[in-house]
């Protein structure tokens, strides 16, 4: 998966918009506080977003909220689940490592992902993972966004992403 050092490399207006919010809301600690993100002011983003809690020891990411566009493309709602539970060993991307990098660096990670389709082609989407504080100066949560550029699970030809136990 290519990651981008510069937001100008991102095509997605959704990822760019969340990046703009993150940059303009950073406080003295270099992070925005989660409470400064008002979903009613960003209605075009919410369906494509995930709000995640960080559990530092051991490092785990728990999905507090998963938007409807994300559940539509993955084929299930993983709200309340842990990232390591839903990925399984056959995951094509090291998502847990990406979140760890964001927590450690206190900076967003932007990139693009290609997933194989049932027909043997490729489905590409862009994403951003943004660290946020929660009443302090430490990374406590993540705002993540994925832009599928209008595709759906059926339209993209992806296999449903079944929940893991």
Task: State pLDDT tens for residues 7-17.
Answer: 999 999 999 99
What does the mean pLDDT of the chain come to? 89
In a domain, 16, yes or no: yes
- What is the rounded distance in angstroms from the CA atom of residue 165 to the CA atom of residue 82? 10
In a domain, 68, yes or no: yes
What does the DSSP assignment read for 28-67? TTSS-BGGG--GGG-HHHHTTEEEEEEETTTTEEEEEEE-
Going by C-alpha positions, the residue among 145, 131, 102, 98 that lies closest to residue 29 is 131
**Residues 89-110: tens digit of each pLDDT:** 777 789 999 999 999 999 999 9
Longest dimension (CA), the chain: 49
Six-digit token string for 129: 């993972």
In a domain, 161, yes or no: no
In a domain, 51, yes or no: yes
Number of domains in the chain: 1
Domain ranges, residue 21: 3-156
The CATH number of whichever domain residue 124 belongs to comes to 3.30.450.20
132 has which bridge partners? Answer: 141
In a domain, 162, yes or no: no
Going by C-alpha positions, the residue among 70, 66, 36 that lies closest to residue 52 is 66
pTM for this prediction: 0.91
In a domain, 163, yes or no: no
In a domain, 165, yes or no: no
**Residues 104-151: tens digit of each pLDDT:** 999 999 999 988 777 777 888 999 999 999 989 999 999 999 999 987
């Amino acid at each position: 998966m290519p990651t981008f050092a510069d937001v100008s490399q991102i095509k997605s207006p959704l990822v760019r918009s969340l990046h703009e919010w993150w940059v303009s809301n950073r406080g003295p600690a270099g992070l925005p506080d989660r409470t400064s993100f008002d979903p009613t002011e960003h209605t075009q983003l919410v369906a494509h977003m995930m709000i995640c809690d960080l559990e530092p020891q051991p490092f785990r990411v728990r999905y507090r909220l998963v938007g409807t566009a994300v559940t539509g493309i993955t084929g299930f709602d993983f709200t309340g689940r842990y990232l390591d539970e839903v990925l399984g060993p056959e995951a094509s991307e090291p998502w847990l490592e990406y979140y760890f990098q964001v927590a450690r660096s206190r900076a967003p990670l932007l990139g693009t992902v290609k997933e194989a389709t049932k027909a043997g082609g490729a489905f590409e989407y862009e994403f951003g993972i943004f660290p946020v504080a929660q009443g302090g100066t430490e990374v406590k949560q993540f705002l993540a966004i994925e832009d599928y550029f209008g595709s759906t699970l059926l339209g993209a030809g992806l296999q449903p992403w079944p929940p893991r136990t």
